Amino acid sequence: MGPSARIRTVEAFQVTWRPGDPPGRRSALVRIATDEGVVGYGEASPMQGGLHSLGIVERDLAPALVGADPLDTAVLQDRLLHRFVKLGPEGALTGALAAVDIALWDIKGKLLGLPVHKLLGGAWRTEVPYYASIGGNAARTVEETVRVVEARWRRENPAAIKIRRDGDRSVLDADIPGDIAKARAVRALVGDGYPLGFDANNGYSVGGAIRVGRALEELGYAWFEEPVQHYDVRGMGEVAQRLDITVSAAEQTYTVQALVDMIRAGVRMVQPDIVKMGGITGLMQCAAICHAHGVELVPHQTQPMIGHVANLHVLAALMNLTKPAEYDDASGRMDAGFRNPPKPVEGRFPVPQEPGLGLEVDEAEINKRR
Ligand code: CA
């Protein structure tokens, strides 16, 4: 007989890391404990502080989870997705399920005394390179963009850099010449051959995206992310098929069926996010879909602690890791809540080898910030 355990408590709460953190800078955490006191932590997407997902965990998922076997990760995910599907399979519900799933995998690893990647079938690598994701550039001048990129490039020595527009999604093609000028200036800064990505954050029409994409091809960018609105799956596919540069999408995709729709439309690099859809269980399903379709899986992931470490376990378990892992926030602002916060060494993160996620939570520090 293997370990036998039951879920005793499920807590969902927001953590404020520094006084005055706006909602998007807070974390949406889930803490699950078994009847024998084994504790697992998960995380939901922190959009608007993640309160929508935390509310679903607290009101709907927790009562259904208490008494269940924490090892039944896949059954619990599908049971709860289908029971509460009318809350919206988009975003709020799948973020809640992702947080629960990550916490349950943390428990599973601790119960079995193994790191998550071992339970996923083993690791192909012991470290994962990362790219620095640098946002907010629509509001910057060309010179300001270069300054911000240069600071992280020199300080961190990441394996690649992605610059994000982060503009107003309700205005398309707002400043195409300016966007191209920033892409050109960043290329001039880092030199030819250094891997760069460009994230449109859904800011272009199909025609505008083709224009920017051609410029990025000439500048030797490695990928062009979310060129058009995420809900325009056909348009995303058209841009991907008309350009030579790799076009990526699907960080705002919340079901495996929607992921397949994006691939069928013509997108050849997809970016589902472990804290937005399915957690570890869901991302491994995405991995199988991508492998079967010959599509690059490069998960979106902006949370530097629980989400990041959960992502690292999955990336370690992939045969083909074609691009570095996303890493958005190198500020260390959440370090106090963890005894062994993940830190890159020369642009690479070691894959945790301790049981579960391998992240040691300082419960007293987290409780102070709840
Ligand atoms: Ca993005």
Distance in Å, CA 161 to ligand 1 centroid? 13
CA distances from 311 to 33, 274, 276, 327, 357 (A): 22, 6, 12, 11, 10
Distance in Å, CA 251 to ligand 1 centroid? 7
The predicted pLDDT at position 9 comes to 98
The full DSSP string for 85-113 is GGG-TTTHHHHHHHHHHHHHHHHHHHHHT
Nearest-angstrom CA–CA distance, 278 and 268 = 21
Q: What are phi and psi of 98, to 5 degrees?
A: -65, -45
The full DSSP string for 329-369 is --S-TTGGGBSS----BTTEEEPP-SSBT---B-HHHHHHH
59's tokens: 């009101």
H or E segment at 312?
helix 306-317
- Is there a contact between 45 and 53 (Cβ–Cβ < 8 Å)? yes
The predicted pLDDT at position 39 comes to 98
Distance in Å, CA 201 to ligand 1 centroid? 6
Distance in Å, CA 246 to ligand 1 centroid? 14
- Is there a contact between 237 and 268 (Cβ–Cβ < 8 Å)? no
232's tokens: 């325009």
Closest residue by Cα to residue 91 from 290, 226, 251:
251
Distance in Å, CA 312 to ligand 1 centroid? 18
Distance in Å, CA 68 to ligand 1 centroid? 36
The predicted pLDDT at position 4 comes to 85
- Is there a contact between 175 and 235 (Cβ–Cβ < 8 Å)? no
79's tokens: 């049971």
The predicted pLDDT at position 285 comes to 98
Distance in Å, CA 34 to ligand 1 centroid? 36
Question: Model pTM?
Answer: 0.97
Distance in Å, CA 231 to ligand 1 centroid? 14
Distance in Å, CA 196 to ligand 1 centroid? 14
Nearest-angstrom CA–CA distance, 154 and 275 = 29
Distance in Å, CA 192 to ligand 1 centroid? 23
Task: Give, as one character, the DSSP assignment of residue 241.
Answer: H
Q: Would you give per-residue pLDDT tens digits along the chain (370 residues)?
A: 567 899 999 999 999 999 999 998 999 999 999 999 999 999 999 988 999 999 999 999 999 999 999 999 999 999 999 999 999 888 999 999 999 999 999 999 999 999 999 999 999 999 999 999 999 999 999 999 999 999 999 999 999 999 999 999 999 999 999 999 999 999 999 999 999 999 999 999 999 999 999 999 999 999 999 999 999 999 999 999 999 999 999 999 999 999 999 999 999 999 999 999 999 999 999 999 999 999 999 999 999 999 999 999 999 999 999 999 999 999 999 999 999 999 999 899 999 999 999 999 999 999 999 9
Cβ count near 113 (within 10 Å) = 11
- Is there a contact between 308 and 299 (Cβ–Cβ < 8 Å)? no
Distance in Å, CA 164 to ligand 1 centroid? 7
Surface-to-core class of residue 85, CB atoms within 10 Å of its CB (0-12 exposed, 13-18 middle, 19+ buried): exposed
Distance in Å, CA 86 to ligand 1 centroid? 27
The full DSSP string for 128-187 is EEEEEEE--GGGS-HHHHHHHHHHHHHHH--SEEEEE----TTS-STTHHHHHHHHHHHH
Cβ count near 157 (within 10 Å) = 13
Distance in Å, CA 226 to ligand 1 centroid? 7
Distance in Å, CA 2 to ligand 1 centroid? 41
Distance in Å, CA 168 to ligand 1 centroid? 14
Nearest-angstrom CA–CA distance, 200 and 224 = 7
Distance in Å, CA 354 to ligand 1 centroid? 30
Distance in Å, CA 139 to ligand 1 centroid? 16
Nearest-angstrom CA–CA distance, 333 and 168 = 27
